[in-house]
Amino acid sequence: MPSKELRVGMIGYGFMGRAHSNAYKQVGQFFPSDYRVVLKAACARDAAKAKEFADQWGYESVETDWKKLIARPDIDAIDICTPNNLHKEIAITAAAAGKMILCEKPLAMNVAEGREMVAAVERAKVPNMVWYNYRRIPAVTLAKKLIEEGRLGKIFHYRAKFLQDWTINADLPQGGQGLWRLDVAAAGSGVSGDLLAHCIDTAVWLNGSVESISALTETFVKERKHNLTGKVEPVGIDDACIFMGKFSNGSLANFESTRYARGHKAQYTFEINGEKASLAWDLHDLHRLQMFDYKDEGKIRGWKSIHVTDNGGEHPYMDKWWVPGLAVGYDCSFTHQVADFITGLETGTPAGPTFRDALETQAVLDAILDSAKSHQWVQVAKG
Ligand code: SOE
């Protein structure tokens, strides 16, 4: 039986608010620990929406002012699921109040803000984490294990893409609830911060730091009606982004993300080519890790498909779920992240990505926008 409580105050009620709340509800059932997660309060400016969200997910109470939420003594952890332009102020206030912080990605609007956030949590010594959830899809975690075991040898290439198509319609407005991702003032960037950030986080985790990059961005729809002003305004986000780059280990990076790939809703894929072996993964088939191992006997050498659904308890996280062979979904990545966060509290070794880890991704994001603007190669800043 858990002897401690982790009392969560959730700020925001959108898609990510739901994904995180689902994880908080699942974690104790599948990953028992010393901590019982208590959904203490949901916070949103709109009282009716906050109440509806709280009722649906089982939060005990409602706040409409995030400062009041942070000041509450019965809250241990603040979960930031707001648009990106609020991450910094909320995180710094929460850290000063001694709260743990779980912040939605990307960490911040830019690296300068990210640095302030890192300084705040490290000064306050509060546990902190950023929701780069794809690391914790079991097949992706297995890829990490295989790389750490040296099975790929020297890595030559890392290529990744994240494709969607939901903003092709030029009549879609920008700004406000649900559409803040199109408003540069709220989001900081477009697909780079929203989608490519996931690819970069996974890449840095699997393959180490990105040293330098050359990027190209495009805004296909130049003006959209703004929901907050009612006027047609210039669009300031990147609709699509491509970059090439070099990792510190000498391997080459090739990344792409867009919201204009008709037919793709969330196609996140990566492939890694090493001297001894290659790995490939596709979110649409999230349990499958493809591997080509050159040391396999010649006549049966080829791409093999590892279905990561337990294999005698050797597949990450899977032994905690159903019985071997049965699948889990996208939502499990968030549950695993909460489970690891709690393990971090228990062991004192924080689960990544911490704010400091996520600062590295933020630095790559800044370099992308700099490079796209200047048409120059850009060195990625150090944290
Ligand atoms: C955008 O459509 C979005 O919801 C991102 O914000 C998420 O981070 C990504 O995982 C799925 O797509």
pLDDT at 74 over 80: yes
Model pTM score: 0.98
Average pLDDT over residues 43-71: 98
Average pLDDT over residues 30-48: 97
**Atom nearest to 197 CA in ligand 1:** 8
Ligand 1 pocket by C-beta < 6 Å: which residues? 15, 164, 194, 198, 266
Task: Kindly give the distance from the C-alpha atom of residue 6 to the centroid of ligand 1, in angstroms, as a whole number.
Answer: 26
pLDDT at 231 over 90: yes
Atom 9 in ligand 1: residue holding the nearest Cα: 195
Task: Kindly give the distance from the C-alpha atom of residue 89 to the centroid of ligand 1, in angstroms, as a whole number.
Answer: 22
The reported pLDDT for the residue numbered 126 is 98
ipTM computed for the complex: 0.98
Q: What is the mean pLDDT of the chain?
A: 97
The reported pLDDT for the residue numbered 148 is 98
Task: Kindly give the distance from the C-alpha atom of residue 132 to the centroid of ligand 1, in angstroms, as a whole number.
Answer: 10
The reported pLDDT for the residue numbered 274 is 98
pLDDT at 55 over 80: yes
pLDDT at 373 over 80: yes
Quick: pLDDT tens for 299-357.
999 999 999 998 888 999 999 999 999 999 999 999 999 999 999 999 999 999 999 99
Task: Kindly give the distance from the C-alpha atom of residue 162 to the centroid of ligand 1, in angstroms, as a whole number.
Answer: 10
Q: Can you name the residues that pair with 244 across neighbouring β-strands? A: 214, 254
Q: Which fold has domain 4-133?
A: Rossmann fold (3.40.50)
**Atom nearest to 166 CA in ligand 1:** 2
The reported pLDDT for the residue numbered 310 is 85
From 122, 121, 96, 104, select the one nearest 186 (Cα to Cα): 104
Atom 5 in ligand 1: residue holding the nearest Cα: 194
Average pLDDT over residues 9-29: 97
The reported pLDDT for the residue numbered 383 is 76
Domain spans, the chain:
4-133, 136-378
The reported pLDDT for the residue numbered 53 is 98
Confidence at 265, pLDDT banded by 50, 70, 90: very high
Residue of 15, 238, 333 with the most ligand 1 atoms within 8 Å of its CB, for mutation: 15
Quick: pLDDT tens for 341-365.
999 999 999 999 999 999 999 999 9
Encode the chain in three state secondary structure.
CCCEEEEEEEECCCHHHHHHHHHHHHHHHHCCCCEEEEEEEEECCCHHHHHHHHHHHCCCEEECCHHHHHHCCCCCEEEECCCHHHHHHHHHHHHHCCCEEEECCCCCCCHHHHHHHHHHHHHHCCCEEECCHHHHCHHHHHHHHHHHCCCCCCEEEEEEEEECCCCCCCCCCECCCCCHHHCHHHHCCCHHHHHHHHHHHHHHHHHCCEEEEEEEEECCCCEEEECCCCCEEECCCCCEEEEEEEECCCCEEEEEEECCCCCCCCEEEEEEEECCEEEEEEHHHCCEEEEEECCCCHHHCCEEEEECCCCCCCCCCHHHCCCCCCCCCCCHHHHHHHHHHHHHHHHCCCCCCCHHHHHHHHHHHHHHHHHHHHCCCEECCCC
Task: Kindly give the distance from the C-alpha atom of residue 154 to the centroid of ligand 1, in angstroms, as a whole number.
Answer: 32
Within this chain, domains 4-133 and 136-378 share the same CATH topology? no
Q: For domain 136-378, which architecture applies?
A: 2-Layer Sandwich (3.30)
Task: Kindly give the distance from the C-alpha atom of residue 266 to the centroid of ligand 1, in angstroms, as a whole number.
Answer: 8
The reported pLDDT for the residue numbered 344 is 98
The reported pLDDT for the residue numbered 3 is 94
pLDDT at 190 over 90: yes
The reported pLDDT for the residue numbered 23 is 98
pLDDT at 196 over 80: yes
Confidence at 177, pLDDT banded by 50, 70, 90: confident
Tokens 């690391």 locate to 135
Average pLDDT over residues 54-78: 98
Q: SS3 for 353?
A: coil
